[in-house]
Amino acid sequence: MRRLLLVGLFLVGLIWALMSYPGLANRGEYQSIVLDFREDLTDAQIESELSTIAQQYGVIPRPNSIFSKTDHVYILDGNSQLLKTLRQSDLKDYTESIDANYIYQAFAVPNDPGYVKQWNLKSISVETAWDQTKGIGVTVAVIDTGVSQVPDLKKTKFVAGYDFVNDKKDASDDNGHGTHVAGTIAQSTNNNYGVAGIAYEASLMPLKVLSASGGGTIVDIAEAIRFAADKGADVINMSLGGGGDTAILREAIDYAHSKGVVIVAAAGNANTNAASYPARYPTVIAVSATDSSGLKAPYSNFGAGVDISAPGGSKVNGDAGGILQETIDPESGSAFASFQGTSMAAPHVAGVAALIKSVGVKDPDAVAEILKRSAHAIPDDTLNHFGAGLLNAGEAVKLAQRENLDVKDFLRWLRDNGYFNLKFWFDGGVVALLPKIAMVLGSYLLAWFLRGYLPLASLSLGSGLVLGSSGLFFLRGFYIFDLPQFPFRVLGSSIAELGGAIQGSALLNPIFASVLIPFCLVAFLLGHAQWKWFAIGSTLGVASCLAVSAAIDPGMAWLGTGMAARIFLVINTLLCLGLGYLAAKAAHSGTRTEVL
């Protein structure tokens, strides 16, 4: 009985799912019908059928193209009513199919003539996102040099802002930066003019805190953040940075975050190993910049604090590599200008955050989580150039619609309790955990096979096994703000990985990832009563590390990632095993002699 009930429930669920599936048939549009006549009909038979249709229904079927006649494919104008009638008529005996001629549409490509030059929008898959939302109902505050309503912002909605530099209500731009940033977020789109913006149905709140020279004080910035939070902004974009940690700014950011505002800021343009303030604050999403080929832009900050990357462009090879939006121009009033910087990257993320909010995700931590989880992850990002990866608008909106995600409480707890505070920062994405565990376990397994010769409980053997196989790998993603990170990378690397650790390369260096270092260690330490176990442990550890690398990811400097690297690693694994075995035997008999 119970089983029957379950089957019944399952069927009801299945039917409901099928019926609510928005298949093409339910939402497709068509104005014509396709007739595909049977291949064995003669031209004369088809002609007679066609004239019958013309007489009966008053529509004249025509070949779809010059190729259609040989394929016996004809189309005729008609709607669902005619389609139904035709399918029930004698015509079905003469045809292979009678179908609606659905109009297939590419993703909503806007008609803005400059859209073709916006490589940056294509690279974040914004068209897929536009299928679902264009940011309606969301307000984005642009804390910058002000925003002027240039022609390509005329159709964009604005809410009241403020000019904190000159203390007036009109927050027009006198620099050009803020208008450009606002354009990336919500440039008027599908208006047959200029270029496109990401969340072009969202409203902009212009807040001017930076003067015409492009600088401003943290007091104005903090006031603008509070203004935005109080006046209903959902997202804040700050394409600005510098200075240090100040209570006034930190408290303003915490206030806005507590009111549910997503805060996005540029990581900075000094090409240094930490995001600048205010991007560095834990509740601010710090954005690094990529160029048109998806590499880190040469100026972009990276490392500690960087949460995600987005197109910021690089004009090294000319203006086409920059980000194109309309902004003010001293001579003609307005002009389309190509800018570069993490300033340009941040509004991409702010725009996508607006899209996420417009489909109903309200909690700023959940929005940040969606942005990061939907980002296109970059493998082997040892220096954290990209944070969670490259921004992906399409995937972000999809993820946001799937369910209202709540951030794992554990992450929130970590952040609130100081692990992600302003001194330390931890890049969780840098360590591939499973291979590391396999390396450590593998090395212990090897030691266990040689247990007849080895003191398994020995501390020096254990440290050799760990250092040889995985190193203190959890340290690899550890940062102290404003200090070089390589000491942690070195400590977090096994002996075999040391070669690439300082430069931050994920490739193994053939000098280090070989039998060479274990051989030297054994040669020098085999005579020592305690250190010999360390030498043997690290030999077995390296063997395990090389074996796992050969199996999973044989990427090596000079040798590539293919068969050559794999063969090199396997040979050295075997050499290490042989060395470990011989050394263990020798050390064991040595110990016995000492004991005797």
Binder among 203, 237, 239, 443 for another protein (CB under 8 A): 239
Binder among 240, 274, 461, 467 for another protein (CB under 8 A): 240
Q: Which is nearer to another protein, 214 or 429 (CB)?
A: 214
Residues 262-301 touching another protein, rule: CB under 8 A, are 266, 268-270, 272, 276-278, 299, 301
Q: Which is nearer to another protein, 337 or 545 (CB)?
A: 337
Q: Which stretch binds another protein (CB under 8 A): 340-348, 367-375, 398-406, 537-545?
A: 340-348
Residues that contact another protein, how many (by CB under 8 A): 38
Which 8-state DSSP code applies to residue 107?
S
CA distance 344 to 323: 7
Smallest separation (angstroms) from another protein to the CB of 231: 21
Binder among 216, 499, 518, 555 for another protein (CB under 8 A): 216
315 lies in the binding site for another protein (CB under 8 A): yes
Cβ–Cβ under 8 Å, residues 503 and 495 = no
Smallest separation (angstroms) from another protein to the CB of 239: 6
Q: Which stretch binds another protein (CB under 8 A): 164-172, 210-218, 454-462, 542-550?
A: 210-218
Smallest separation (angstroms) from another protein to the CB of 301: 8
397 backbone dihedrals φ, ψ, rounded to 5°: -65, -40
343 lies in the binding site for another protein (CB under 8 A): yes
Binder among 113, 215, 360, 560 for another protein (CB under 8 A): 215
Q: Which residues pair with 37 in a beta bridge?
A: 95
586 lies in the binding site for another protein (CB under 8 A): no
Smallest separation (angstroms) from another protein to the CB of 341: 5
Binder among 214, 260, 435, 487 for another protein (CB under 8 A): 214
Q: Which is nearer to another protein, 153 or 576 (CB)?
A: 153
Binder among 244, 379, 428, 560 for another protein (CB under 8 A): 244
Residues 114-153 touching another protein, rule: CB under 8 A, are 144-145
Give the DSSP H or E segment for 163: strand 162-163
Q: Which is nearer to another protein, 135 or 268 (CB)?
A: 268
465 lies in the binding site for another protein (CB under 8 A): no
CA distance 127 to 395: 11
**Residue 273: CB partners within 8 Å, gap ≥ 6?**
301, 302, 303, 304, 383, 479, 484, 485
Q: Which is nearer to another protein, 287 or 496 (CB)?
A: 287
Q: What CA–CA distances, in Å, run from 570 to 120, 493, 513?
A: 43, 20, 11
Q: Which stretch binds another protein (CB under 8 A): 11-19, 71-79, 209-217, 440-448?
A: 209-217
Look up residue 1 and give its two tokens: 């009985």
Smallest separation (angstroms) from another protein to the CB of 296: 15
- Within 383-477, strands assigned E span 424-426
Which of the residues are catalytic?
A: 144, 177, 343
Q: Which is nearer to another protein, 301 or 358 (CB)?
A: 301
Cβ–Cβ under 8 Å, residues 186 and 202 = yes
Residue 189 burial (CB count, 10 A): 26
Binder among 89, 190, 217, 421 for another protein (CB under 8 A): 217
Q: What is the DSSP string of 486-544?
A: HHHHHHTS-GGGHHHHTTT--SBPTTTSSSHHHHHHHHHHTTSTTHHHHHHHHHHHHHH
Q: Which is nearer to another protein, 116 or 212 (CB)?
A: 212
68 lies in the binding site for another protein (CB under 8 A): no
484 lies in the binding site for another protein (CB under 8 A): no
Smallest separation (angstroms) from another protein to the CB of 541: 37
Binder among 26, 55, 81, 213 for another protein (CB under 8 A): 213
Which 8-state DSSP code applies to residue 297?
P
Smallest separation (angstroms) from another protein to the CB of 217: 5
332 lies in the binding site for another protein (CB under 8 A): no
SS3 annotation, 563-589: HHHHHHHHHHHHHHHHHHHHHHHHHHH
CA distance 51 to 212: 74
Cβ–Cβ under 8 Å, residues 389 and 377 = yes
Amino acid at 67: F
Pick from 372, 323, 320, 313: which is nearest to 182 by CA?
Answer: 323
Cβ–Cβ under 8 Å, residues 482 and 423 = no
Q: Which is nearer to another protein, 337 or 371 (CB)?
A: 337
Dihedral Cα 156, 160, 164, 165, nearest 10 deg:
50
State in Å, rounded, how far the first CA of the chain is from the last one. 77
Cβ–Cβ under 8 Å, residues 198 and 134 = no
179 lies in the binding site for another protein (CB under 8 A): no
Q: Which stretch binds another protein (CB under 8 A): 28-36, 169-177, 361-369, 480-488?
A: 169-177
Binder among 35, 165, 221, 466 for another protein (CB under 8 A): 221
321 lies in the binding site for another protein (CB under 8 A): no
242 lies in the binding site for another protein (CB under 8 A): yes
Q: Which is nearer to another protein, 263 or 517 (CB)?
A: 263
Look up residue 181 and give its two tokens: 């940033």
Residue-wise burial string across 436-449, b where 16 or more C-beta atoms lie within 10 A, e elsewhere: bebbbebbbebbee
Binder among 78, 313, 341, 555 for another protein (CB under 8 A): 341
Smallest separation (angstroms) from another protein to the CB of 240: 5
Binder among 72, 177, 280, 398 for another protein (CB under 8 A): 177
Which 8-state DSSP code applies to residue 271?
-
Cβ–Cβ under 8 Å, residues 174 and 111 = no
Binder among 219, 405, 551, 570 for another protein (CB under 8 A): 219
CA distance 522 to 513: 16
Task: Give the interface with another protein as residue ranges (CB under 8 A).
Answer: 144-145, 175-177, 210-211, 213-219, 221, 239-244, 246, 266, 268-270, 272, 276-278, 299, 301, 315, 339-343
